[in-house]
Chain A
Amino acid sequence: MKSGLILTSAILAASVLASACGNTKEAVQPSAVASTPVPSAAPAAPAVDYTQAIDQYRTYVIEQCNAYVKATGEFTAAIKAGDLEKSKELYAPARMYYERIEPIAESLGDLDPAMDAREGDVEEKDWRGFHRIEKGLWMDGKTHGQEGYADQLLSDSKLLRAKVETVEIDSTLLLTGAVELLNEVSSTKVTGEEERYSRTDLYDIAANVEGARKIFDVLKTEVEKKDAELARTIDGRFNNLFKVMEPYKKGSGYVLYTDLTQDQTKKLSQAVDALAEPLSQMGKKLGA
């Protein structure tokens, strides 16, 4: 009953907001200067115009969200159909859309824990979302009993889709978001704590890095203007990190976390830290 209500309002919100957004998008371009968000601590240097970057990024977030809702729908449908193998197969790819835009979801209050909390992050009675289902699928080896969590997850994902239309994306969120994505990798993903049952951590890692890359891409021109050397360094380290990830691709996905040797994990982790360090300088350069 409760989830049904949320779902209905989510769909309503999504449709209302979607049309509103369409209007805004076109309106923004001509009046770009007037609506430029001003960084809270205004620097002495000329303020960077983030309008275009934010607009591009919002488009990306909405694309990812659309794909996320679709993939989550297929994943949860497989669970409700009782298809264990298919559920397991669809689990990690569905998460990737979410992991690419995680800082946005985290800024939306309780949605992140509702969908992405790991065991022990929240009280047992409140624990739901991907990892709850992950435990059921891999540990208990069955879809039965996960149907309720599947419903909740799908409705939460739709709520996220609705909310991203109006989420305030400012320069700070953009600048810190890229580093936060990599922090996620180096704090819990490269240690294998995120996907403790499915061992699909490399999907999350790849998605986090891709999400960070997207943010850098939309800001790259501005970073180049301020500090071309820094932009080159960040670019080079992203490329290096993708190179480090390359051997772990398998089909359209990735090998299991447990397939990596300790040395390989360490190399991956250190490549992430090597990238995150200059990336964290981006904010200072852009005066956010």
Chain B
Amino acid sequence: MEDNKKQPQPADMHKEREGGTPFSRREVLKMAGVGGLGLLLGSVGAGGVLAGTGKLGSRSDTASADAARSGRLPFYGTHQAGIVTPPQNFLCFAAFDLTVTRGEEVSQLFKAWTEASAKLCAGETVGTQNSQTGLPPDDTGEAVGLNPSNTSITFGISPSFFDERFGFGPKRPAGLVDLPRFPGDNLRSEWCGGDIGVQVCADDLQVAFHAIRNLTRIARGKAVLRWTQEGFQRTAAAGAPGETPRNLMGFKDGTGNPDVTDEKLMSDLIWTQASDGPAWMANGSYMAVRRIRLRLEVWDRSTLGDQEATFGRHRDSGAPLGLKNEFDPLPLDAKGADGKAVIPMTAHARLAHSETERILRRSYSYSSGLDRQTGQLDAGLFFVSYQRSLEKQFIPLQMRLAKQDKLNEYITHVGSAVFACFPGAKEGRYIGQELFEG
């Protein structure tokens, strides 16, 4: 048989199995060979057919949760996926440094990456040479048989992309600014910068890693990895996807996020507009990335009262201090019997609250084993946010937090990067084409 990619693939062949176990590309192809998959799917759906064969588990009660997990997100579109997309379970982030010398080689890389990414998001293997025994396969193979798992791949370029090397300098957006040094920053060069940032999110870590690995491989000779980070949050199997996830400090993280279904709000807060300039950035967004190490050992020995005062919220419910429900508005003016603010002036929730500096947080927890120097856990928050303007939204917000947040006792920012995320590409075009050919 030729490689998988040349087989006719029904649009819905990546559908999940009912009952939780995704059915593999290989199984589907076998079935197609036997009876004509399109027909089977067209009549009762793969789940029904396979269930009839007794091959499936019986967890049909979780079928809808699984459907949400194993779906396929379109790669092409007005905006890149992975920004307002509901956060998937896992993250693989990679920052690359370009090693080429000509701008043309950069656009070639993005062309190749776009093509591969569309396939990766569809759950297909990349490349064409995957079955010739005399050649190394194009696709690294570890995602064969796995469903698309809602993979999204989001590309951005940093301020260093616009230095003297490729001649893109004149096209640098005014909005792509270097971050100032924030008080307390403890940045380490091994977690900072990079010419290109790639955020891969998926509901399966192996699928996400497969994407980063194959993009890295395609880039060899053109770009090298500078740093990477994997992230996680609780999976849909462990908790209801609609609920705000908790960070490793045990508190709900992201309660104040803006409503991504409100298109007007997203245009105001997240998507760069044509009027913001330059033209190639219209419908893009600016991404801020901070690797925030949590001093978990110290946190774990602080009292619950201290912890709650630090966040300004109750740990279990996520409600503002003194209130009952997570989404109750923060009572910023309320005073206790002692005359002090109920939500302390240095509480994280108070300081992070702003009408004008709203950002879309899309953070993941990370655990990278132990810090070999101290024997403590190297774990924390891989903070990712998207905003229309770094200068008007992220920077003033982070400056305020860096100066006053009580949380600073327990956290330290060790990594930092900013990227201008391209608009999405329409089918037949490639990511960044407006910049490279505009």
A residues neighboring B (CB under 8 Å):
120-123, 176, 179, 183, 186-187, 190-193, 262, 265-267, 269-270, 273, 276-277, 279-280, 283
Known A266-B372, A266-B373, A273-B376; judge A193-B186 contact (CB<8 A).
yes
B301 touches A265 (CB 8 A): no
Q: Which residues of B contact A283 (CB under 8 A)?
A: 303
Within 8 A of A (CB), among B288-308: 295, 297-298, 300-303, 306
- What are 11 A-B pairs at a CB distance below 8 A? A121-B184, A122-B183, A176-B303, A179-B301, A179-B302, A183-B301, A186-B295, A191-B374, A273-B376, A276-B297, A283-B303
List 4 additional contacts besides A176-B306, A276-B301; criterion CB under 8 Å. A121-B183, A121-B184, A123-B183, A283-B303
Contact of A186 among B181, B185, B306, B374 (CB under 8 A): B374
B376 touches A120 (CB 8 A): no
Known A265-B374, A266-B373, A269-B375; judge A120-B297 contact (CB<8 A).
no
B301 touches A266 (CB 8 A): no
Q: Which residues of B contact A266 (CB under 8 A)?
A: 372-375
Known A121-B183, A186-B295, A186-B297; judge A265-B376 contact (CB<8 A).
no
- Give Cα distance in the complex from A122 to B303, angstroms: 27
Q: Which residues of B contact A176 (CB under 8 A)?
A: 303, 306
Closest chain A CB from B7 CB (angstroms): 53
Q: Of all chain A residues, which has the CB nearest B295?
A: A187
When A and B form their complex, which 8 residue pairs have the shortest distance between CB atoms, in order from nearest?
Answer: A280-B301, A269-B374, A266-B375, A183-B298, A270-B375, A273-B297, A187-B295, A269-B375
Q: Which of B302, B303, B374 has the most CB of A within 10 A?
A: B374
Q: Which residues of A contact B186 (CB under 8 A)?
A: 120, 193
Q: Of all chain B residues, which has the CB nearest A280?
A: B301
Main secondary structure of the interface of A (DSSP, over half): helix
Q: Of all chain B residues, which has the CB nearest A273?
A: B297
Q: Which residues of A contact B374 (CB under 8 A)?
A: 186, 190-191, 265-266, 269-270
Closest chain A CB from B373 CB (angstroms): 6
Closest chain A CB from B66 CB (angstroms): 41
- Give Cα distance in the complex from A121 to B408, angstroms: 11
Closest chain B CB from A20 CB (angstroms): 26
Closest chain A CB from B191 CB (angstroms): 15
- Give Cα distance in the complex from A186 to B409, angstroms: 12
Closest chain A CB from B307 CB (angstroms): 12
Known A183-B298, A273-B297; judge A120-B184 contact (CB<8 A).
yes
Q: Which residues of A contact B301 (CB under 8 A)?
A: 179, 183, 276-277, 279-280
Closest chain A CB from B156 CB (angstroms): 26
Q: Which residues of A contact B372 (CB under 8 A)?
A: 262, 266
A262 touches B373 (CB 8 A): yes
- Give Cα distance in the complex from A78 to B396, angstroms: 42
Contact of A120 among B185, B302, B306 (CB under 8 A): B185
Q: Which residues of A contact B298 (CB under 8 A)?
A: 183, 186-187, 276
Q: Which residues of A contact B297 (CB under 8 A)?
A: 186, 273, 276
Closest chain A CB from B39 CB (angstroms): 63
A186 touches B376 (CB 8 A): yes
A120 touches B183 (CB 8 A): yes
Q: Which residues of A contact B375 (CB under 8 A)?
A: 266-267, 269-270, 273
A-contact 0/1 string along B177-195, CB 8 Å cutoff:
0000101111000000000
Q: Which of B183, B295, B302, B375 has the most CB of A within 10 A?
A: B375
A-contact 0/1 string along B73-113, CB 8 Å cutoff:
00000000000000000000000000000000000000000
Q: Of all chain A residues, which has the CB nearest B182?
A: A120
- Give Cα distance in the complex from A270 to B374, angstroms: 7
Q: Which residues of A contact B303 (CB under 8 A)?
A: 176, 280, 283
Known A120-B184, A280-B301; judge A265-B373 contact (CB<8 A).
yes
Q: Which residues of B contact A279 (CB under 8 A)?
A: 301
Q: Which residues of A contact B412 (CB under 8 A)?
A: 187
Q: Which residues of A contact B183 (CB under 8 A)?
A: 120-123
Q: Which residues of A contact B184 (CB under 8 A)?
A: 120-121
Q: Which residues of B contact A191 (CB under 8 A)?
A: 373-374
Q: Which residues of B contact A269 (CB under 8 A)?
A: 373-376
- Give Cα distance in the complex from A262 to B409, angstroms: 25
Q: Which of B181, B372, B373 has the most CB of A within 10 A?
A: B373
Closest chain A CB from B47 CB (angstroms): 50
Closest chain B CB from A201 CB (angstroms): 12
Q: Which residues of A contact B302 (CB under 8 A)?
A: 179, 280
Closest chain A CB from B125 CB (angstroms): 43
Within 8 A of A (CB), among B378-424: 409, 412
Q: Of all chain A residues, which has the CB nearest B301?
A: A280
Q: Which residues of B contact A277 (CB under 8 A)?
A: 300-301
Closest chain A CB from B310 CB (angstroms): 13
